[in-house]
Amino acid sequence: MTSTFLSPTDQQKRTLTTIFVITGIVLLVARMVVVTFWAVYGGHTLTDTFMVEVLLTVASDLILVCVIGVVFLTYTKRTGKEVSYEVLAGALTTYAISALALLLLGALLPSDVVEGVPTNITTVVTSHILALGTFIVSIGLAGFLAWFMQMRRHERTGRYLILLMIILFGVWLLSALGSVASVFSGLSITLVVIGSIVMLMSIKRLNWLATLTMDKKIRLLWLTTCAAFAAGLLASWHAFNGDAFVTQSAAMFVRSGAILPGAINLFGFVFFARLFFAVLASLPNSGIVDRRSSEVESLAHLTRMMAETADVDTLLSSVTQFALQVCRAHGAWCELYDDDGSIRVVASKNVHADYVRVLHRDRALHRMFMDNARPALIDSLPDILGADATLPIRSVITVPLIREHRRTGTLVMFSTIEYGFEADDLRLLTAFGDTISIALDQTRLMEMAIEKERLQKEFDVARRIQSSLLPISAPDIPSLGLAAITIPAEEIGGDYYDYVRFANGRPGVIIADVSGKGIPAALYMATLKGVVLAEMRSSNGPADLLRRVNAALMGSMEKQTYITMTAVDYDVATMTMRMARAGHTPLLLRSGSTIRTYTPKGIAIGLVAPATFDRVTEEIEFPVESHDIIMLTTDGVNERRDAALGEIGIEPVCEMLANIGTTTASTVITKTLELLHMHGNGTDQHDDITIVSMVVNGVAETTVDDERIRPIYGVLS
Amino acid sequence: MNQFTALTQQDERGICCIDLAGYLDAHTATELESIMSAAITNGCRRIVVNFADLEYISSAGLGVFMVFIESIRSDGGDIKLAAMKPKVFTVFDLLGFPVLFEIYPTVEEAKQAFPSLEA
């Protein structure tokens, strides 16, 4: 039962409170009735019969127990609450108002007490109300003081609280004995004084008051003054003014009870006075505290804003608005300097376009705006510009905005009064400027990241499109095993190979290399594919195809761009190949263990008009035998570099071909890539690599599809 | 890395000689393009490109000469190439550039190939 009483649930607390309140009221009414019949109608004094006195005392004590119980329950409900300005101000207000109201009531209510006996019913009722009010206010104050000390406790708080309670008890006891011998009254007063000292010592940890804002402190000063006044008045009345109705009421309610509210209110007075001086002492630094806390809040707010905003203009707009509030400026704008020297105002608050123009018209000011590396303060603009009644700007702060180590703009704040800013504003804005600069860099990085992602996605699409331009499977060429691969140096490239069929029905292979790399080369590659598809069916051989392609593309290509290309066809019946070359790298033929290179005359596509091109381009024919290897490459193969920029050359490839023996077309490609890989030794590939290999009477092969390297193998019997 | 350089000098006959050195690839091609562009803006119509110290030329490097040749020839001038190392010549040769440009073993021969102005 004890434990439930000490830590009851909220529900139990409510029930207990109700019980206390009802019991208290019933007892009070009963007591009033008893006093009325006994004193008013009976004409007895309250103390002349022992039984009655005991009865009344027990009733009073029980009522007090009820009051104490309610107060106790009220404050234990608050244990979780931290002492804050709001709680303190609320308690002070409640106390001051109720204490002063009590005093007012005591002064106004009619009293008719003769020698400690109320003479009419009105006096009985009013004296009971006043007595109850006195005890409620006092016990409530005691509860608050105890709670406050608990909340701001230190190592000796517990001992002080117990000591204070013992002192209060002692005071009561001694005061009751005061009627026996006056020495006890003296002792009781001494105890009250000691209690006050203990009270003073036990109030500690009031530093948090310093962090309150100026206006809150001022309000606290008023409240503590009122509370101290009320407490002082109550305490002194109970101590010295026995004739006052309030004191008389308390004394009639509890014998020698007047001393207790007096003592408690004295303690309260000590507390309020201590609080008053603590607040008073913390007043001078309030300005600094206010400023500091608003600075910290501002920077935190700015940081949050930075984190939430990705767009530079939005960010600058909110920053301008915010800086305006923080510095109590009358207007502000953000100007950005473009590369061509023009000034762009992005975020303006209370700004006329003329303001910016007028300020920049002055050379010195213009330079200051554009070049200052640190924030600057102009206290009096008229000193510089001369008095100009039309321009309301009187003082200015400029904050440079820096992005990627470059001055990109200025945050300008102005006041319409001279000396409108303080040095502190400048200091705060310096921190601001740094933060904004970081934010600007961040947004730039974010924009870059987004842009990069967008580009990457487009590249991915382009890469898919380009790989769809390359043949998926080889055509049905009897007795010719085919394999091909292209590896762009970047996401997309300018190399191209394809399988074609000429007008006479002969199958063929083409390989081409657009000069340059990346997107331009890829666009030409796609164009070339279109032209080849359009022209191959009407071409009667490799040279004819090249001439048609040149005629189609000449004039529609950029001057510095050209395409090298080789076309080959194969006559299955006679086992001969025809070949023409437009500036492309030579064709390699491995026959037995000898390597032949074929370099028929020809010029790259897109360089010369058809007349010259057609004359220069020649076509050759050569026979092939079973197990011969025919290899077409782009210059990305023989120009594969190592770390020292040394090119591999075509010789290692020729050597590999000479020694490879009987093999498949895909093995030829694998071996070639191995050579290139070994030579490159981890260095970046700087040009697109394409290899087409053909093996006469090659064996069947399976298709391999690797992610980065996209080989496309054709298999034919 | 052999730094790419291109120096222009004009002789008494009004022939501009551009001396190339190092690697001429996609990166340095723009440099050469602006140098040649500047020479032509200054009135040069007879240009000899000296390849004696050029180590390497890429497809993009070759493209530079194509940019100007047409307009220069229509003005009655020419770009002549001279003193190529065998490796560099092979690149030109494979592409069929000898059809398009006159290529000489030495700078002097290239200069001599321009007809004298009086004639």
Spans of all domains in chain A: 84-284, 289-448, 473-714
Q: Which chain B residues have any C-beta within 8 angstroms of a chain A C-beta? A: 1, 23, 26, 29, 33, 56, 58-60, 62-64, 66-67, 70, 94-97, 99-100
Provide, as residue numbers in chain A, all residues whose Cβ is less than 8 Å from the Cβ of B64. 560
ipTM of the complex in this document: 0.87
How much is the pLDDT for A388? 64
Given the DSSP bridges, would you call strands A563-571 and A507-514 parallel, antiparallel or unpaired? antiparallel
pLDDT the model gives residue A576: 94
Residues from chain B contacting residue A513 (CB–CB below 8 Å): 59
Residue A516 has its nearest CB partner, among B26, B67, B100, at B26
Helix (H, G, I), strand (E, B) or coil at A706: coil
**Do residue A603 and residue B95 have CB atoms under 8 angstroms apart?**
yes
CB contacts < 8 A (A, B): 63
Name the residue with tokens 């996209």.
A710
- Domain extent listing, chain B: 5-105
Task: Write out pLDDT tens, residues A281-296.
Answer: 888 777 777 777 777 7
A167-175: long-range contacts, CB 8 A cutoff, minimum separation 24: A167/A191, A167/A192, A167/A194, A167/A195, A167/A198, A167/A263, A168/A195, A168/A260, A168/A263, A168/A264, A171/A195, A171/A259, A171/A260, A171/A263, A172/A256, A172/A257, A172/A259, A172/A260, A175/A256, A175/A259
Residues of chain A with pLDDT under 50: 1-4, 702-717
| Higher local confidence (pLDDT), B78 or B118 | B78
Mark yes or no for CB contact A516/B60 under 8 Å.
yes
Q: Which CATH architecture has domain A473-714?
A: 4-Layer Sandwich (3.60)
Residue A711, pLDDT score: 41
pLDDT of residue A543: 95
Which chain B residues have a beta carbon less than 8 Å from that of A586? 94
Q: How close, in Å, is residue B118 to chain A by CA atoms?
A: 31
* Domain over A289-448 is classified CATH 3.30.450.40: yes
A 535-594 near B (Cβ less than 8 A): 559-562, 564, 582-586
Cα B64 → chain centroid: 9
Q: What is the average pLDDT across B75-103?
A: 91
* Tokens matching residue A462: 């382009």
Query: Domain B5-105: which CATH class?
Result: alpha beta
- Which helix (H) or strand (E) segment holds residue A385: the answer is helix A382-385
User: In this complex, do B63 and A585 lie within 8 Å of one another by their Cβ atoms?
Assistant: no
- Mean pLDDT of chain B, nearest integer: 86
Chain A residues within 8 A of B31 when measuring between CB atoms: none
Q: What is the pLDDT of residues A604-656, one digit of tens each?
A: 999 899 999 999 999 999 999 999 999 999 988 988 888 887 888 889 999 99
pLDDT, position A370: 81
* pLDDT tens digit sequence for A401-422: 887 777 888 888 888 888 888 7
- Alpha-carbon span B65 to B30, nearest angstrom: 11
Q: Which residue of A has its CA nearest to B92?
A: A583
CB A106, CB A245: distance < 8 Å: yes
